[in-house]
Amino acid sequence: MGTGVADGSRGARRWLLWLGLCFWAAGAAAARGADNGEVLPDSIPSAPGTLPHFIEEPEDAYIIKSNPIALRCKARPAMQIFFKCNGEWVHQNEHVSEESLDESSGLKVREVFINVTRQQVEDFHGPEDYWCQCVAWSHLGTSKSRKASVRIAYLRKNFEQDPQGREVPIEGMIVLHCRPPEGVPAAEVEWLKNEEPIDSEQDENIDTRADHNLIIRQARLSDSGNYTCMAANIVAKRRSLSATVVVYVDGSWEVWSEWSVCSPECEHLRIRECTAPPPRNGGKFCEGLSQESENCTDGLCILGIENASDIALYSGLGAAVVAVAVLVIGVTLYRRSHSDYGVDVIDSSALTGNSLLLNPAMQPDLTVSRTYSGPICLQDPLDKELMTESSLFNPLSDIKVKVQSSFMVSLGVSERAEYHGKNHSGTFPHGNNRGFSTIHPRNKTPYIQNLSSLPTRTELRTTGVFGHLGGRLVMPNTGVSLLIPHGAIPEENSWEIYMSINQGEPSLQSDGSEVLLSPEVTCGPPDMLVTTPFALTIPHCADVSSEHWNIHLKKRTQQGKWEEVMSVEDESTSCYCLLDPFACHVLLDSFGTYALTGEPITDCAVKQLKVAVFGCMSCNSLDYNLRVYCVDNTPCAFQEVVSDERHQGGQLLEEPKLLHFKGNTFSLQISVLDIPPFLWRIKPFTACQEVPFSRVWSSNRQPLHCAFSLERYTPTTTQLSCKICIRQLKGHEQILQVQTSILESERETITFFAQEDSTYPAQTGPKAFKIPYSIRQRICATFDTPNAKGKDWQMLAQKNSINRNLSYFATQSSPSAVILNLWEARHQQDGDLDSLACALEEIGRTHTKLSNITESQIDDADFNYSRQNGL
């Protein structure tokens, strides 16, 4: 009993002591508050409770004009609530307090209000906005509310950016920019069209959510009108200037009508109208002719001979034709009677003298310049029989080869040896529907008769007739070529070999990240068999690097599917791929359709693009059109552009340049810069165009181009100067400088191609090869024999930068011959015999067995070779 009383007494004393401390603290705080104008609570709880909990906290507020705002807060349980603004206590007299009891909990609820005036906010100059917060007390301590900011509301009058009027083609994108006036709080934007609000929720084609801009994804004729940007906040509303949008339709040509009946003047007409659709809202009128006429004398119309003068005229023309025919026959007979056929370009007697191969002890003198001059294009018997009359009127001049190397002289080429021979192309036009079969010597005459009736070859297709001597088939200006080695076709056989490039939709559909890097090249006939690999050269557009690309050779099966032949880095004995910076040389045993694909390993993988700008006048005499192309850097891709531009009357305005396009998913931007401001103008918002990354990275279907339309202010302006900037975002950039006259008579012509691949697509026999056959035989005989010191065909391969997949050459009957075939394919443009001679001299290889061959044996061997090949 005593213990319980004692414990109760101690508890009461502790409670009284706590109350005393509270009174003392309150008194001290009141005394301090009297000096500072601060007031703290003067009531105390009658029973224990909890910390104050805010039921309502002060909210951010805006002062409109000169009207004060009220801030309030409510808490429970709370003995007192005071406001603190900007770190200072608000005087007790400025508080309005209300007290109530929460019936559910029995706790005291206190609510407090204060007013904040505009003058108070304007007089405050702190690092942040004017702010206030509540502090509530209970017997356990204090609680603080959130800070509420108080700002003076306003909305300036002028828009930071008014929308601008635009003219856009139908289905083009419309973007109207609006930056509302500065204001507090920030203004909300609403768009009006012809004074009616635009509801983007009701029209999926319209978006007004992006930074206050109005976006119409595909323009319709109904979207033409006056657009106004409305900005409003709690203070005021503002209207922007109205922007007029015109959606126009460019005219298009209907299809041509049927040809009219042939007139007495031997002409017929056809017409077309600009009504599909007609131009609307200021759209361009159709380009091109609306009426076309042509002569129709081809069996459709015959002019009558009405008088004696006509009879005399036609009699004279007939006599002239007969005279020309007689002259042609005479020239033909004369040339046939005086034709001289060359012999093998090698002087065999030279091999018995100053020869490195025959005299191992003799070292070549690299300081002496040797010159060999003579044709390496000799007619074979098959070519002589297949010559047509037309080829007689286009003889080739003699070909001269200069070799600055004493080593080539030691192989049998005498100084200043002169040989002369006539050369012809050896190509004949063939139709696409013709079957291909072996030509036997006894059946040549009927075959030649069929050739004259066949149509000419298509632009990206070429053919040639090849026999045992081999030859080279070239697709001019495409970078594609085919080398048929000597002996690849059996003797007494001849084949018509064709080569074509797929110009339409690629049949090879890329999987995943794989892209097509080359054209699809077809060579045939597919059932033809060769005894030694032929070399197919295919251009590509990859910036070659094994660190960034995984490149594959693929072949199309008879079922139309594509199968991988090999990766260019793989080891294989079935074929060989040698990847140069701009082309891939492939050694193959079978004909078919081939292409190169690439799989980027990193974002640093680069495709090389050729960029070029073409220009032409519009049907409107004041307009001038620029077309900027970005195509894969392969000659055939650019040739397709050239063909299209020639059809449209376009002119190349600047030499094409190379752009390195990275696989980093960033888009391509094309813009026109530095247009003379008082002479030319470009339509608004069309000076810069952007092309998505995927469209550029996989642009192997149609040539990618952007068109720009420029307009002269006056017809007297004939000179145009500007810059075309083509750049990849976070990538490479190229500038095309346009400086041209729009008048064709004053314009400088820029060639489309730096050099022709070959004036004559097909070359047969010795003239097709850079290395003379006799020298080639001695090189093979020298290096095919294994050598303990390694100075054999493997060293020959190494010196010619062939360092991988040597097992392929080891399986060939003559590894050196296949290596030389690859050299011929790589050097068809330069024919750099010096480099080959230097490589051979570096090896310093001599073949001891050749020293035992007598001069007569060498002469007999050359005579037998020449007689065997009809030389």
pLDDT confidence band for 83 (50 / 70 / 90): very high
Task: Name which of 197, 211, 206 is nearest 174 in CA terms.
Answer: 206
**Burial (CB count within 10 angstroms: exposed 0-12, middle 13-18, buried 19+), residue 679:** middle
Q: What does 279-326 look like in DSSP terms, one character per residue? A: PBTTPPPPPS-SEEEEE--SSS------SHHHHHHHHHHHHHHHHHHH
Residues 6+ apart with CB under 8 A from 169: 219, 247, 248, 249, 250, 283
Each residue of 107-161: pLDDT tens digit?
888 999 999 999 999 889 888 899 999 999 988 889 999 999 999 999 998 998 8
Instruction: Measure CA 739 to chain center.
Output: 24
Q: Are 535 and 522 in contact (CB under 8 A)?
A: no
pLDDT confidence band for 280 (50 / 70 / 90): confident
Q: Are 79 and 29 in contact (CB under 8 A)?
A: no
Number of other CB atoms surrounding residue 690 within 10 Å:
11
DSSP code at position 419? -
Q: Are 843 and 799 in contact (CB under 8 A)?
A: yes
Structure-model confidence comparison of residues 326 and 44, the more confident one: 326
pLDDT of the residue at 867: 35
Structure-model confidence comparison of residues 843 and 846, the more confident one: 843
Instruction: Measure CA 723 to chain center.
Output: 19
Q: Cα separation of 692 and 701, whole Å?
A: 15
Each residue of 605-653: pLDDT tens digit?
999 999 999 998 876 678 889 999 999 999 988 888 888 888 888 899 9
Number of other CB atoms surrounding residue 369 within 10 Å:
11
pLDDT of the residue at 20: 43
Is the pLDDT at 856 greater than 80? The verdict is no
Residues 6+ apart with CB under 8 A from 640: 503, 631, 703
Q: Are 477 and 640 in contact (CB under 8 A)?
A: no
pLDDT of the residue at 92: 87
Q: Are 162 and 229 in contact (CB under 8 A)?
A: yes
pLDDT confidence band for 58 (50 / 70 / 90): very high
Each residue of 460-477: pLDDT tens digit?
889 999 999 999 999 888
Structure tokens at 119: 């003058």
Which of 318-322, 406-410, 592-596 is least confident?
A: 406-410
Task: Name which of 774, 775, 816 is nearest 799 in CA terms.
Answer: 816
Is the pLDDT at 534 greater than 80? The verdict is yes
Instruction: Measure CA 37 to chain center.
Output: 77
**Cα angle 414, 417, 422; round to 5:** 140
Q: Are 718 and 680 in contact (CB under 8 A)?
A: no
Q: Cα separation of 636 and 703, whole Å?
A: 11
**Cα angle 8, 10, 13; round to 5:** 110
Instruction: Measure CA 370 to chain center.
Output: 46
Instruction: Measure CA 528 to chain center.
Output: 37
pLDDT confidence band for 665 (50 / 70 / 90): confident
Structure tokens at 562: 């594509």
Q: Checking phi first, is residue 217 left (phi over 0); if not, alpha (psi -120 to 50) or beta?
A: alpha
Q: Where are the alpha helices (H) located in 424-480, listed in sequence order?
A: 444-451
Q: Cα separation of 517 and 684, whole Å?
A: 37
pLDDT of the residue at 798: 87
Q: What residues does 243 pair with on adjacent strands?
A: 227
pLDDT of the residue at 480: 94
- Mapping DSSP to helix (H, G, I), strand (E, B) and coil, where does residue 809 land? helix
Which of 483-487, 672-676, 720-724, 852-856 is least confident?
A: 852-856
Each residue of 501-518: pLDDT tens digit?
988 778 887 767 789 999
pLDDT of the residue at 466: 94
Q: What does 167-221 look like in DSSP terms, one character per residue? A: EEETT--EEE--BPPPEESPPEEEEEETTEE--TTT-TTEE--STT-EEESS--G
Is the pLDDT at 341 greater than 60? The verdict is no
pLDDT confidence band for 79 (50 / 70 / 90): confident
pLDDT of the residue at 419: 32
Average pLDDT over the chain, rounded to an integer: 75
- Overall average pLDDT of the 57-75 stretch: 92
Strands 668-673 and 688-691: antiparallel
Each residue of 734-765: pLDDT tens digit?
999 999 988 876 666 665 544 444 456 788 88
pLDDT confidence band for 830 (50 / 70 / 90): confident
Which of 170-179, 521-530, 748-757, 853-862 is least confident?
A: 853-862
Is the pLDDT at 386 greater than 70? The verdict is no
pLDDT of the residue at 746: 63
Residues 6+ apart with CB under 8 A from 477: 635, 636, 639, 752, 753, 756, 757
Is the pLDDT at 786 greater than 80? The verdict is no
Structure tokens at 827: 């050097």
pLDDT of the residue at 315: 67
Q: Cα separation of 774 and 559, whole Å?
A: 44
Task: Name which of 695, 645, 652 is nearest 670 in CA terms.
Answer: 695
- Overall average pLDDT of the 403-431 stretch: 35
